[in-house]
Amino acid sequence: MKKIAIFASGTGSNFERLADDQKIAQVAKITKLVCDKPNAPVIAKAQQRGIEVFAFNPKDYPSKADFEQAILEQVEDCDLVVLAGYMRVVSPYFLQHFKQPIINLHPSLLPAYKGKDAIERAFAAGEQEMGVSVHFVNEELDGGEVIAQAKLQRKTFENLPALTDRIHQLEHQLLPQVVYQLLTQ
Ligand code: GRF
């Protein structure tokens, strides 16, 4: 059985999809949730499923290197790290020391709309084709090699909440598929 660590900061709907995916469960175990927001709803989702949580407040550490060192110790036996709504940039220090793949989910068709508020910015720009990407994490924000993407066409008169909802549905389908593929290839 392979071991997966998931990093998340908020609601955790993608965490939930990964944790409840039957195919992933056949080949791997999610052994850890790493969360940088001690009050985030994702924490209860992990606890309900008996998944160990490492929740920390970055302000309690003297520097980013210190809390990243603490995270490294938590995940050193994992075969894969999945950033699923982790609102923090992983440092070069972490990338150098964690030797297994790290992947990230991003709500745009990379390389377009890297960084925050990707859906809002693509919507405001009037993009007709939008979507989500799963990519390997490297030192550039949302800049690593793209593994897979899923696309949708914006509907006429579709508003931002409806579109955001459809983008999230695409994420919920794509991320478990990619994780399973990486674990079994
Ligand atoms: C997702 O839209 C992801 O692409 C972005 O943050 C959101 C996380 O949502 N980086 P959730 O916490 O998984 O519900």
Sheet (strand 146-153) strand order: 53-55, 28-35, 2-8, 80-83, 102-106, 129-136, 146-153
| Known catalytic residue at 106 | yes
Rounded CA-CA distance 175/177 in Å is 5
Q: What pLDDT score was predicted for residue 139? A: 92
Contacts of 161 (CB under 8 A, 6+ apart): none
Number of H helices, E strands in the chain: 7, 7
Is the minimum distance from the CB of 107 to ligand 1 under 6 angstroms? Answer: yes
pLDDT in tens, 44-56: 999 999 999 999 9
pLDDT in tens, 76-124: 999 999 999 999 999 999 999 999 999 999 999 999 999 999 999 999 9
Is the minimum distance from the CB of 110 to ligand 1 under 6 angstroms? Answer: no
Q: What pLDDT score was predicted for residue 26? A: 97
Q: Which residue out of 97, 106, 168, 172 is catalytically annotated?
A: 106
Q: What pLDDT score was predicted for residue 140? A: 92
Q: What pLDDT score was predicted for residue 150? A: 98
Residue 34 binned pLDDT confidence (cut-offs 50, 70, 90)? very high
Q: What pLDDT score was predicted for residue 103? A: 98
Residue 2 binned pLDDT confidence (cut-offs 50, 70, 90)? very high
For residue 171, how far is its CA from the centre of ligand 1 (angstroms)? 8
Ligand 1 atom with the smallest distance to the CA of 132 is 4
Specify the residue with its C-alpha closest to ligand 1, atom 8: 85
Q: What pLDDT score was predicted for residue 87? A: 93
pLDDT in tens, 122-175: 999 999 999 999 999 999 999 999 999 999 999 999 999 999 999 999 999 999
User: What is the helix, strand, coil percentage profile of the chain, to 5?
Assistant: 40, 25, 35
Q: What pLDDT score was predicted for residue 108? A: 98
Q: What average pLDDT is seen over the chain?
A: 97
